[in-house]
Structures are given as structure tokens and as C-alpha cells.
Amino acid sequence: MATINDNYLKLKAGYLFPEIARRVKAFTESNPEGAAKLIRCGIGDVTEPLPEACRQAMHDAVDELGDSSTFRGYGPEQGYDFLRDAIVENQYAGLGISADEVFVSDGSKCDTGNILDIFGKGNKIAITDPVYPVYVDTNVMVGNTGEADESGAYEGLVYLPCTAENNFVPTIPEEDVDLVYLCYPNNPTGATATRQQLEEWVAYAKERNAIILYDAAYEAFVQDESVPKSIYEIEGAKDCAIEFRSFSKNGGFTGVRCAYTVVPKSVTGTDGKGEKHPLHPLWSRRHSTKFNGASYPVQRGAAAVFSPEGKAQVGALIKGYMENAALLRETCEKLGLPVYGGENAPYVWVGCPDGIDSWGMFDRMLEKANVVITPGSGFGAAGEGYFRISAFNSRENVEEVCRRITENLG
């Protein structure tokens, strides 16, 4: 008799984005007219073509694989040196990160979930609320929580509310936690954390022997120079933080798949006997055993993000998405709605008009405006009363979305 992982039975409904996709499918099947006009600003998926520099590098890599003198088979599981070196040179210059502390993978979503493989059972987990649902669900899957209550909150998790009052950056908890997930620029609120706030978190983690799992997937969208892009800009973070980054949102690799995780050699965890061990060899071992590396053409494409042409092309993509975010912000502000984010992140976080809850807003936007947004409550109880608009779209679509928002909410 094969038993199952009972923890999966604790998971609430569908994962947010498949659930949205299910509702959208039901709507489009019964409303062909609405379906034809539908604009998707729900999931943060890029829409613009891959940078030319990346495409060229991938073409060249495929050609190399087609020639017996340059053919390659399995690559290093942790990533090719050309990419790890380029990441350190371009993303971590002066921050004391070495190339062998960078682990290339096929996505940050996978890495933020898989990282739990190297941690023990019974860790106390802190997450922000609202939060990227992957952090919660993966902790449920490995048994780090009890059951969910009616509000969807899981027993055993420490929820750190992020509200307009605290500028969507959580207050340091009084209690001890072992792992804390922070994501800045934030998904879903688009908020950023200041240097001082991150310093406080690093000080907390060091004092309590906690580890910060820092998701920096949206760092490329930071416009304000005073906002830290990496947790390693904070002194001491190399002793207590793991950072996740991605090529999905800057290079437009959501379909191509390439990301990386930085595990400094100085970050340690404690074994059952109370002895400290560096996490770096554990993650390296996990990578070698369960992963065979991101594909060679993809890693060549990712490295091209850092070429002079690649930088210019990625810069243009980001500029375009941020201009979209500014248009969305302006439209919602003109309607008198509370508007957050969208200035250093591709997400605009908007308070629902009076009397409408998050899913009510989702339905209204879908049915009346034929625009898909993401209901704030899908990211956690503290997201209730908000909705998220993704700025990842063509300018034409964003202008149309702005028109439809004004028409339907004005």
C-alpha cells in the first residue's frame, strides 16, 4: 500500500494562479465576446519578446550543440562558470560574494520551495501577509504547519502583517523564529524595504540564529538608488541570509527558465545535536543529486543579459514596464483609490472601492471590464480589500486597461 504525503491534504483550494486561470476559463467559455476582449494583468508574466542579445546567444549555443567539435552533454549542476562569474561581476560587485556561492537553476519559484530540503523538521517559519503563496504552500507540503483555519491561515506559521500603516514592511516579531521569508521589492504589494529596515532584520536574524530567505526576483525594477537591491548590501547578511534571484522578470525568461540562488559559505544551520554546519555544501549536494543543471543554451542566453547590448535591451524592457506601472498608478489615483507600489516594482497594489472585497473586485473586473487582475486576499488575509495589477503587458493593452478601469470604476 502506497501512502501519500498527508500534508498535501491540508492545502487550501488551488494554488492562486491556477485558481484564477480556472475562473477565467469558465468566464471565457461562457462569454465569447468578453473572451475576445480579455486583457490579462493577473499573473506577473512578461509579455514582450526576449532581448535580441539573449536570443542570439541561445541560437549560437544551439549551433555549438549541433557540431561534434563543440557539443556538450551534462553541464555542472551548479551552473557554468561563465554564468556564475557574470552574475558575481554584474550583480554582486563589491559585496564579497564568490562565484561558487551562486547556484544556477531553472527558477526562483522552484528554489524557494526546494530550499526547504536542507532544513530540518519543526523549524518555526515566519512569512509576511500578504505573501507570494509558494512560501506558504511549500511549508505546508513539508509538514511545517498544522491545518488551515477558515481564513486560510495555517497553524504554526508566524504571520507578519504588512499593511499600509507599516508601509508593507513587517515589524520584527517579539518571538524567535528560525526561517523568515522576505521579498523586496515585494510581490504582491510592490513595496520596498529601506536599508534601515533590512539592517533591523539582519540584526534580528543574527541575534536569534534565524535565517532570512530573501527573494529579490524584482530587484531590476528598483529605480530609487537608496533602496537596497540585495540583502548582502547589509553588513552581516552573509552570515544569515540566502538570496534568490531570477532572469524571469528582467530578461523576460518566464518561459525560458533561469534563476539563481546565493548561499554564502558563512551561513550556518544547526543539527540535532546542536552543532553548526554551513548550508552551502548541503545545498550543493541537493543540487547535484536532484538537478542536472539549467540547459546550456538557456545559460548562454542568461549570460547575454549582462553583455552591453543585453543590458541596454533589458533596460528598455524594464523602462517600458515601469512606464506601464506609472500609467496604472495614475489611473487608479485619479479615481481616488488608495494606490501603492508600482514605483520600484512592476506591481500596483490598489485598495478596492468601498464595499467590494478582493474576489468581488476580481469578478467585477473580469465580467465588466474583461480585465484579469489578482485578488489581494489570494496572497493572504491581510491582502483582503486590495487587488494587484501587473504592469507586465504591452503599452497598448495597458492604455486600454486604464480606459476600462476608468469606465467601470469611475
DSSP 328-381: HHHHHHHTT--EEE-SSSSEEEEEPPTT--HHHHHHHIIIII-EE-EEGGGG-G
> Which H or E run includes 195?
helix 195-208
Nearer to ligand MLT, 46 or 88 (CB): 46
CB-based contacts of 409, cutoff 8 Å, min separation 6: 335, 337, 353
38 binds ligand MLT (CB under 6 A): no
230 makes contact with ligand MLT (CB under 6 A): no
- Please identify, using beta-carbon distances, which residue of 296 and 340 lies nearer to ligand MLT: 340
28 sits in which H/E element: helix 16-30
Residue of the chain from 39, 40, 41, 44 that contacts ligand MLT (CB under 6 A): 44
Span from 41-49, 277-285, 323-331, 400-408 in contact with ligand MLT (CB under 6 A): 41-49
**Nearer CB in complex with ligand MLT: 14/146:** 14
185 upstream amide cis, omega within 30 of 0: yes
Contacts (Cβ under 8 Å, ≥6 apart) of 194:
169, 226, 227, 228
The residue at minimum Cβ distance from ligand MLT is 44
109 binds ligand MLT (CB under 6 A): yes
CB nearer ligand MLT, residue 132 or residue 283: 132
Residues 112-151 that bind ligand MLT (CB under 6 A): 132
Q: Residue 84: in which H helix or E strand, if any?
A: helix 81-91
Closer Cβ to ligand MLT, 44 or 264, answer by number: 44
Of 101 and 129, CB closest to ligand MLT: 129
185 near ligand MLT, rule: CB under 6 A: no
Least distance from C-beta 44 to ligand MLT, angstroms? 3
* Among 39-47, 116-124, 225-233, 401-409, the segment contacting ligand MLT (CB under 6 A): 39-47
Cα 16 to chain centroid, rounded: 14
Shorter beta-carbon distance to ligand MLT: residue 43 or 142:
43
The dihedrals phi and psi of 127, each to the nearest 5 degrees, come to -130, 155
Closer residue to ligand MLT in complex, CB, 134/210: 134
User: Whole-angstrom Cα distance, residue 14 to residue 98?
Assistant: 39
Task: Give the span between the Cα atoms of 218 and 174, in whole angstroms.
Answer: 29
Examine residue 190 and tell whether it contacts ligand MLT (CB under 6 A): no
Q: How far apart are CA 231 and CA 91, in angstroms?
A: 12
The answer to whether residue 187 forms part of the interface with ligand MLT (CB under 6 A) is: yes
Distance between CA atoms of residues 193 and 184, nearest Å:
6
Note the Cα 301 to chain centre separation in Å: 20
Q: Total binding residues for ligand MLT by CB under 6 A?
A: 6
Give the residues across from 278 on adjacent strands: 268
Degrees to nearest 5, angle at CA 187 with 196 and 385:
105
Binding of ligand MLT by 43 (CB under 6 A): yes
For residue 310, state whether it binds ligand MLT (rule: CB under 6 A). Answer: no
Give the separation between CA 295 and CA 62, rounded to whole angstroms. Answer: 10
Q: Which sign does the torsion angle of CA 244, 250, 254, 258 carry?
A: negative
Q: Which stretch binds ligand MLT (CB under 6 A): 38-46, 282-290, 303-311, 325-333?
A: 38-46
- For ligand MLT, which is the closer residue by CB, 44 or 251? 44
| Residue 257 binds to ligand MLT (criterion: CB under 6 A) | no
Q: Work out how close the CB of 60 gets to ligand MLT at its nearest, in angstroms, rounded to a whole number.
A: 28
Q: Which residues bind ligand MLT (CB under 6 A)?
A: 43-45, 109, 132, 187
